[in-house]
Structure 1
Amino acid sequence: MVQGDPLMINWPAFRGGYVNLGNVVSMSGGTANTTSLLRVMNERAVFGEIFRLGKVSRPELAQATGLSKPTISMALADLERARLVRPVGLRTGNAGRAALLYEIRPQAGAVLAVDIGRAYVRLALADLVGDIVARRDEPSRAESYDEVLTQLSGIVDQLTAEAGMARADITLSVFGTPGIHDKETGILRLAPNLPGWEQPGAVERLADVTESPYVVENDVDLAAVGEGAYGLGQGVSHFVYVSIGTGIGMGVVIDGKLYRGSQGAAGEISYLPVGEGDPLVNPGRGMFESVASADGVVAAAGRLGMVAATAKEVFDAARSGDEIAGRVVAAEADHVAHALAGVTAVLDPELVVLGGGIGAQAGDLLIEPVARRLESLVALRPPRIESSTLGSDAVLLGAMAFGLTTARDLVFERAVATTPLG
């Protein structure tokens, strides 16, 4: 097991052959000589640029890395011998000789992304360039801890069979879950919607689901990663992703990097003192979540005499002009604005992305009143507020984005450890 901070990375199947980024070790156990070390560094640089740029020529790699053309050629030969990259044709149309193009070999690695939610589990298997080769979405069996593990294991078997691979062929699995993973006890804290995951060692049993190294990450943090990689957060250095649905949470991106805090609990805004919720009445839930989550919306409607089984019914009624539903939506907007006022005062984000079942699907009702109220609550210009364009795929895409970057390093390290230099 290799423990990162604040990530927890488990290695149930991969033992040995790991090349620590800060200390390259030869297979004989001694420190690599300077020539070998430089060669590995050059190969890593070239591999990273191909990963970033896609199909790319040797001159383009030389320009991107600053390495000489002979060095590029040597690195490409080693990477091709290790089956990490492959030639993919010629670029024509310019004067002079046509340039041979290289790309990452998709089959060099695989990433499993898993979103474990209260209502649904979503899994996707992708090759090393990010093309999804198999995917499943199913209603979650989250009422039972053992059943959801069995469900996940069965889906992984289906995905790998469809892709023509075994579980052991997966380079890295990334699990997104509510709550915070306590690395000392192996439990999920602050995840009341996933009963049973508070048992000691619960998270470690995910090793039964995958035979690959795996990472457990907060789902809303992964959604923020997904927004930064594929959604509205692209090119935005400072933004927050606020998920409002069954629960409430926030992912924080500062200077283009995910911020987790000292205990991995940054963004647990469900505990903000907003509204009139009572945590004693709603154990495991903070004040803001008690009043502004889906259950809070339904409860607010009930207090005003409206019978609704779901928050969606309330928002649909508001769109149809129902007066009581309109009052509920106005109260929801006020709660969200007060929470965002605290977030804005502390973090000063450029953008707030609203996600989750309420944030993404009721943006047409919430964004304008939230923005108007927020403007009266903060000292400076408030951030712009938008609904996520990724919808229910935000967590899955974030897991994929993180997994691809990490898997790239893993397959390179394995190749360096097992492939002799040419």
Structure 2
Amino acid sequence: MSGSDRGPEPWNQQRQRSTNERLLLDRLRSEGPASRAQLARGTGLSKPTVSSALASLEQHGLVREAGRHVPRRGRVAVLYEPDPAAGHALGIDIGRAWLRVALCDLDGTVVARADARNRARSSAAMAELVVATARGVVADSGVAPGDVAHAVVATPGVYDAEQRRVRYAMHLPGWGRAGLFDRMREELGVPLSVHNDANLAALGEYTFGAGAGSRLFVYVMIGTGLGMGVVADGRLFTGAHGAAGEIGFLPWPGRHKPDILEDAVSGDAVVRSARALGMTGPLTAKKVFDAARAGDAAAVTSVRQEGERLAHTVAAVAAVLDPDLVVLGGGVGHSADLLLSTLRESLRGLTPLRPRISPSSLGEDAVLLGAVATALDHARDVVFDRRTARD
């Protein structure tokens, strides 16, 4: 008997079953609860194939009954939906001032969260804080540690996977040491990936916030430093070495020598400008913006200078990327209401390329939600592969 007479090889049959199961699971996740008949019509699979695949998915704990559909005529149909408790994903946002950790189920619902002041004075202490806080979040949720399928860490700088370290995280002392994330991965016992915070903020804002639906969307993070994330057609653009969006390193003319743009457009720059204009006492960017709202002349001038410099940033971004939307985020970006008027007025005098500009709608949660969304994508794949591989 020839090979063509024997039918598909067992390996190909198993692969086809897996493909069908994943197709149905993705369909339920994107379209909502559905019956066997609806899934057959929507996917083109036969009803027996759909029934077999759903039975397997239910057996593996990946789908569950979601209720009944009672038609005006005909038989009552069972509705199915993905089981959100089949696995969990962990998002971790590491900033100079705050550490934020959230655990979500496979529907993306946050089931536990913690925000902790980052008082660590060394990279080792910061790694310990991350691990302890993440463990605490998982424990508080009641989820078994083994059910956490993937974790994503957001950090300033660019993660070098070959060197196993972060580069360019100038505001986190010692954060460039090799092996720090290997240690976190080992102590948490969870697959863990590392991404730039501005990139994840862009994904968070695109997925959940102001960037939704944009064809080419840019998120400018203005905080302790200056960074940018670019999302084109729903996909993050990171460049050849992961450094796309590191606009803080663009040159900026200084008084005595060339500076970098981050020295002129950041929270620290707002404070330096305010001091030079006569403000005294312990200052933060937030205090300067609050003083500007109250009408303090020096603070108003400092904020206006920040808006003018930010206009140069947007002009450069517009010329290179031509985005349809620029969203301002980060600590300074949270005060976009004071910046937008000056920014837009200055931009008109700099360039004919003027994209729409708006403040972040997610505020301080943009990075964390981007980390959660990215971890969720990985976790869904991991959970599916783990559970279906048990056959």
> Do the structures match in fold with TM over 0.5?
yes
Q: Which amino acid aligns with 2:363?
A: G
Measured after TM superposition, the shift of residue 251 of structure 1 is 0.3
Tell me whether 1:412 sits opposite 2:390 in the alignment: no
Query: What pairs with 1:297-312 in structure 2 (closer than 5 Å)?
Result: 297-307=270-280, 309-312=283-286
- Tell me the equivalent position of 2:3: none
Query: What pairs with 1:180-219 in structure 2 (closer than 5 Å)?
Result: 180-219=158-197
Q: Which amino acid aligns with 1:378?
A: T
1:367, 1:355 → 2: CA distance?
12
- Tell me the equivalent position of 1:177: 155
Q: Return the match for 2:127 from 145, 149, 156.
A: 149
SS at 2:194 equivalent: strand
Q: Is the contact made by 1:171 and 1:213 (CA closer than 8 Å) also made in structure 2?
A: yes
Q: Which amino acid aligns with 2:292?
A: A
- Tell me the equivalent position of 1:400: 372
1:107, 1:147 → 2: CA distance?
33
- Tell me the equivalent position of 1:24: none
Tell me whether 1:56 sits opposite 2:30 in the alignment: no
**Structure with greater helix share of residues:** 2
Q: Which amino acid aligns with 1:368?
A: S
SS at 2:375 equivalent: helix
Where does structure 1 lack aligned partners over 5 or more consecutive residues? 1-30, 281-285
Query: What pairs with 1:119-134 in structure 2 (closer than 5 Å)?
Result: 119-134=97-112
Q: Return the match for 1:374 from 324, 339, 347.
A: 347
Tell me whether 1:224 sits opposite 2:198 in the alignment: no
1:42, 1:158 → 2: CA distance?
38
Which region of structure 1 is more displaced relative to structure 2, 69-78 or 292-301?
Answer: 69-78
Tell me whether 1:261 sits opposite 2:239 in the alignment: yes
Where does structure 2 lack aligned partners over 5 or more consecutive residues? 1-8
1:350, 1:183 → 2: CA distance?
32
1:401, 1:333 → 2: CA distance?
31
Q: Which amino acid aligns with 1:290?
A: D
Tell me whether 1:288 sits opposite 2:266 in the alignment: no
Q: Is the contact made by 1:90 and 1:98 (CA closer than 8 Å) also made in structure 2?
A: yes
1:201, 1:172 → 2: CA distance?
19
SS at 2:264 equivalent: helix
SS at 1:246 equivalent: coil
Identify if the C-alpha distance between structure 1 residues 96 and 377 changes in structure 2 by more than 3 Å, giving closer, same or farther: farther
Q: Which amino acid aligns with 1:347?
A: L
Computed over aligned residues only, the root mean square deviation of the Cα atoms, in angstroms, reads 1.9
Q: Is the contact made by 2:135 and 2:188 (CA closer than 8 Å) also made in structure 1?
A: no
- Tell me the equivalent position of 1:25: none
Q: Is the contact made by 2:154 and 2:200 (CA closer than 8 Å) also made in structure 1?
A: yes
Q: Is the contact made by 1:145 and 1:195 (CA closer than 8 Å) also made in structure 2?
A: yes
Normalising to structure 2: TM-score of the pair? 0.92
Measured after TM superposition, the shift of residue 53 of structure 1 is 2.5
SS at 1:376 equivalent: helix
Measured after TM superposition, the shift of residue 98 of structure 1 is 3.5
SS at 2:119 equivalent: coil
Q: Which amino acid aligns with 1:174?
A: V
Which region of structure 1 is more displaced relative to structure 2, 263-272 or 153-162?
Answer: 153-162
Q: Percent identical across equivalent pairs? A: 46
Could you list the per-position Cα deviations for residues 254-277 of structure 1 after superposition, in whole angstroms to 9, with x for gaps in the alignment?
122100000000000101224538
Q: Is the contact made by 1:172 and 1:214 (CA closer than 8 Å) also made in structure 2?
A: yes
- Tell me the equivalent position of 2:87: 109
Q: Which amino acid aligns with 2:355?
A: P
Identify if the C-alpha distance between structure 1 residues 330 and 89 changes in structure 2 by more than 3 Å, giving closer, same or farther: same
Query: What pairs with 1:317-396 in structure 2 (closer than 5 Å)?
Result: 317-359=291-333, 361-380=334-353, 382-396=354-368
Measured after TM superposition, the shift of residue 83 of structure 1 is 1.1
SS at 1:204 equivalent: helix
- Tell me the equivalent position of 2:289: 315
Q: Is the contact made by 1:188 and 1:203 (CA closer than 8 Å) also made in structure 2?
A: no
The alignment covers a number of residue pairs equal to: 382
1:353, 1:113 → 2: CA distance?
22
Q: Which amino acid aligns with 1:331?
A: Q
Normalising to structure 1: TM-score of the pair? 0.86
